[in-house]
Amino acid sequence: MLSEKEFSELAFLARLDPADPGLKGLREDFNKILDAVKQIEELDLGDAGSKAEIGPAVSRPDVPRGELTPRDIAAIAPEWEAGHFVVPGVIQSE
Amino acid sequence: MNEILKNTASDHAKALAKGEYTATELTKASLAHAHERKSLEAFNSLDAALVEAQAKASDERRKKGQTLGPLDGIPIAIKDNICARGEKVTCSSKFLENFEAPYDAHVIERLRAAGAVLFGRTNLDEFAMGSSTENSALRLTRNPWDESRVPGGSSGGSASAVGANIVPLALGSDTGGSIRQPASFCGLYGLKPTYGTVSRYGLVAFASSLDQIGPFARSAEDTALLLNAIAGHDPRDSTSSPASQEIPTPFSGPLPDSEFKKMRIGYFLPQNQDGYSKEVLAACEKAAKYFESKGAKLVPIQSRYWDYSIPIYYILATAEASSNLSRFDGIRYGKRAKGEDLKEVYIRSRIEGCGPAVKRRILLGTFVLSAGYFDAYYGKAQKAKALIRQEYISFFKDVDFILQPTSPTTAFKIGEKARNPIAMYQSDVLTIAANLGGVPSMSVPAGLDSQGLPIGLQITGAHFSDQRLIRYAANFAEIPGFAMVDGVAPGKAPAASKAVVTQSPAKNDTPGKVAGDSRGSVKVPGKAPVQAKSKPAVVAKKGARKSESKKSPKKVVKKTSKVIKKATPVKKGKTAGSKKSTTKKATRKKK
């Protein structure tokens, strides 16, 4: 069961606003879900757990493919100017 | 409804080839029926001009003898989380409400190459997160069999569109049952292919290690037809399997009787049947008995892990979702909220753009990935997932298929579970394990319950046995009372579901485009405001099915030959599936 303070910290980590009224209403639901998820603690994987092969990380060569043109990107950007995304101040608030 | 809409896609292909009707006539019939059944709210967008242009192009190809294959000219609805260049891909989220895809998903490329008519974008739970399509931020989709009920989710719009005979085929995506559960609720065939069979390139990711695109259809043959078009290796999806190249093969009909004489069918019914419909369980027993009568051996299946599939799934799926959804920050695409600085833009955009179900999952995913909880939750769930996969491999060394219900109940009422996320999650309790194991799994129609609602049964096969699984699905239509009659939903419209048709076209709407912009309403440009009449569709001949479903089948478990178990213990202090564990689970539920 997460306290209100812990829930606020979690919301901050999730890049959500702890003060959002909609989010405050979710705390009770969240705690119920967390109780359900905690059932995994009962699951004893025994030796099998340590031997379980999770499988290799699947990845492909990181090669630029250039499927989207700057024009495609500009068309979907919320704000775009001179070939760049326009954003407000970046680091100051941190 | 035009009678030709009762045809399956395979019927359409033959009729188009014979010149009985054209793709344009078929498409116009589908558009008219979509309008008749607009109270279903199955579509987020349906651009009539775009659809008709594709049909016309198909007809021209056919005239020149340049037909592209059996799907040429066939209308196929697309779940609105699959990218189609130049079309809106909303994921039924306010965040992407005005986002247009800059490229085609792999499956869309395949369908265009096959000459299919891409017939609108169907509603879903926001970002495919839900089991009823009630989590859509754009509209409330209804079940074509009873409009006071949900169509299931998250691919509820696709299921509703096929179930109402608007289109013969649709694409959905399945992360924890999102094709199979709505297929079950709407009386359809719905296949989640083996993980890696269909490229996820261009599917907006929810949980990448579990997501898989698959078909909705009204026959097993049609399921194969659509799977054949979309399956195959794609290097742009790093999890696409080269083995998927072997999947597309012509459908060769139901499995012959001779196969059943040597067949072993794994049979799973939950020990704790609280919350299960007796009629659903009876349908499963009836199917088991039918195949036993054909010579198959029934083998009760007990899993060490399925009791925990919901927590395992919600840990892994939300962890991946919280990572995947971090890209929705208002900077590169989608909704951007106003903010004083970058951090405020991120947060406000997510707060304003995402609904409560999405926020719940982002929060849970962030929690299970946080320091101090990672090993206990995410690490353990990953190991359990690997063990579930191994357990399936072990099962399929001994049995050909596993048979079980798709969902504990038939379609539930709109709003019945909306405020109880745990109850909602339970509706996926039987479908999740197949996603965790990566195996192909399919829901098949199994008649109607006493309320006239479709029952679905789930069949699961070994990795990459998709085609054989579809052939086995075709055998279910031989069971008395199981086959859909013309696949037509009765369409009972409750008084509360009156849709309003208004004349004001939404911004950027093209003529003829169906673009509902709020729950329970549809805008059709060019039409005068009128009260929508929920036109009852042709009523299926269902009397026989009802009487069949009322019969109480005899127990079949006694006749089984062997119980599959593994040697290693799983639960602390008890054996999986023991009475003690059942009692404890029941107590948990009561809490």
DSSP letters of B286-329?
Answer: HHHHHHHHTTPEEEEB--SSGGGHHHHHHHHHHHHHHHHGGG-S
What is the pLDDT at residue B421?
82
Annotation says B441 is catalytic? no
pLDDT digits (tens, 9 = 90+) for B280-301: 999 999 999 999 999 999 999 9
Residue B131 distance to chain A (closest CA, Å): 15
- Do the chains contact at B308 and A52, CB–CB below 8 Å? no
Q: What is the pLDDT of residue B442?
A: 98
Q: Is B198 exposed, middle or buried (0-12, 13-18, 19+ CB in 10 A)?
A: buried
Instruction: Compute the mean pLDDT over every residue in chain B, rounded to the nearest whole number.
Output: 85
Q: So what's the pLDDT on residue B568?
A: 40
Residue A75 has a CB neighbour count (10 Å cut-off) of 14
- For chain A, say whether B235 makes contact (Cβ under 8 Å): yes
pLDDT beyond 60 at B576 = no
Q: For the stretch B467-500, what's the b/e string if a residue is b when 16 or more beta carbons lie within 10 angstroms of its beta carbon?
A: bbbbbbbbbbeebebbbbeebbbebbbeeebebe
How far, in Å, CA of B192 to CA of B380, rounded? 25
**Rounded Cα gap, residues B194 and B42, in angstroms:** 27
Q: Are B431 and B157 in contact (CB under 8 A)?
A: no
Residues in chain A, total: 94
In this prediction the pTM is 0.85
Q: Residue B532 in 3-state DSSP?
A: coil
- Does the beta carbon of B359 lie under 8 angstroms from any beta carbon of chain A? yes
Report pLDDT for B578.
38
Interchain CB contact of A40 with B (< 8 Å): yes
Q: Read off the pLDDT band of A44 (50, 70, 90).
A: confident
Residue A85 DSSP class = E
Distances (CA, A) of A9 to A12, B168, B314, B369, B461: 5, 49, 21, 14, 44
Torsions phi, psi for B391 (to 5 deg): -65, -40
Q: How confident is the model at residue B546 (pLDDT cuts 50, 70, 90)?
A: very low
pLDDT of B124 over the 80 cut: yes
Bigger pLDDT: A54 vs B526: A54
Distance CA B468, CA B477 (A): 15
Mean pLDDT across the stretch B301-321? 95
Weakest mean pLDDT among A40-44, B196-200, B345-349, B582-586? B582-586
pLDDT band at A92 (very low <50, low <70, confident <90, very high): low
| Tokens, residue B43 | 């579509």
**B387 near A CB under 8 A:** yes
The residues near B67 (Cβ < 8 Å, ≥ 6 apart) are B17, B58, B61, B115
Average pLDDT of the segment spanning B262-279: 93
pLDDT at A46: 76
Strand blocks (E) in A2-85: 80-81, 84-85
pLDDT value of position A67: 76
Taking phi over 0 as left and psi of -120 to 50 as alpha, with beta for the rest, B415 belongs to left
Cross-chain residue pair B363–A16, CB shorter than 8 Å: yes
Active site residue B286: no
Confidence at B541, pLDDT banded by 50, 70, 90: very low
CA angle B402, B403, B404 (to 5 degrees): 125
Q: Does A46 touch chain B (CB under 8 A)?
A: yes
Residue B585 has pLDDT above 90, yes or no: no
The residue type at B11: D
Beta-carbon neighbour count of residue A72 at 10 Å? 15
User: From the list A14, A32, A77, which residue is nearest B322 (CB)?
Assistant: A14
Residue B496 confidence (pLDDT) above 50: no
- What is the nearest CA distance from A28 to chain B, expressed in angstroms? 11
CA separation for the pair A21, B351 (Å, rounded): 10
Which has the closest alpha carbon to B168: B69, B75, B72?
Answer: B75
This model of the complex carries an ipTM of: 0.90
| The pLDDT of residue B22 | 98
Closest-approach residue (CA) in chain B for A36:
B311
Closest CB from A77, A89, A94 relative to B333: A77
Instruction: Fill in the amino acid letter for B292.
Output: E
Residue B550 has pLDDT above 50, yes or no: no
Looking at residue A65, its pLDDT comes to 77
What is the distance between the alpha carbons of residues B174 and B579, in angstroms, rounded to a whole number?
A: 32
- Across the range B461-483, mean pLDDT stands at 96
Clarify whether B154 is annotated catalytic.
yes
- The CA-based angle B485-B487-B493, given to 5 degrees, is 115
Residues of A in contact with B346 (CB under 8 A): 15
Per-residue burial over B413-422, b = 16 or more CB atoms within 10 Å of its CB, e = otherwise: ebebbbeebe
B164, B65 contact by CB (below 8 A): no
- H/E stretch holding B27 reads helix B23-36
Judged by average pLDDT, the poorest of B73-87, B224-238, B492-506, B551-565 is B492-506
Q: pLDDT digit string (tens) for B201-256? A: 999 999 999 999 999 999 999 999 999 999 999 999 999 999 999 999 999 999 99
Ranking A48-57, B57-66, B335-344, B444-453 by mean pLDDT, the lowest is: A48-57
Q: Say how many C-beta atoms besides its own lie within 10 A of residue A3's C-beta.
A: 10
pLDDT tier at B571 (50, 70, 90 boundaries)? very low
Q: Lowest-confidence range among B25-34, B165-174, B303-312, B535-544?
A: B535-544
Residue in A closest to B420 by C-alpha? A29
Interface of B with A in 414-443 (CB under 8 A): 421-422, 425
CB atoms within 10 A of CB B443: 36
Q: Which of B125-139, B477-491, B540-554 is the most confident on average? A: B125-139
Q: Which of these is catalytic: B6, B38, B79, B286?
A: B79
Name the nearest CA neighbour of B192 among B223, B214, B222.
B214
Report which secondary-structure segment, H or E, holds B405: strand B401-405
Report whether pLDDT(B556) > 70: no
Annotated catalytic residue within B10, B154, B173, B277: B154
Rounded-to-integer distance, Cα A5 and Cα B462, Å: 47
**How far is Cα B253 from Cα B473, in angstroms, rounded to an integer?**
10
Contact B343 A93 (CB under 8 A): yes
Q: How many residues does chain B have?
A: 591
Report the share of chain B in percent with pLDDT over 90: 76
- Are the C-beta atoms of residues B436 and B312 closer than 8 Å to each other? yes
Q: Are the C-beta atoms of B127 and B321 separated by less than 8 Å?
A: yes
Band (pLDDT 50/70/90 cuts) for residue B392 is very high
Which chain B residue's Cα is nearest to A49? B383
How far, in Å, CA of A62 to CA of B135, rounded?
36
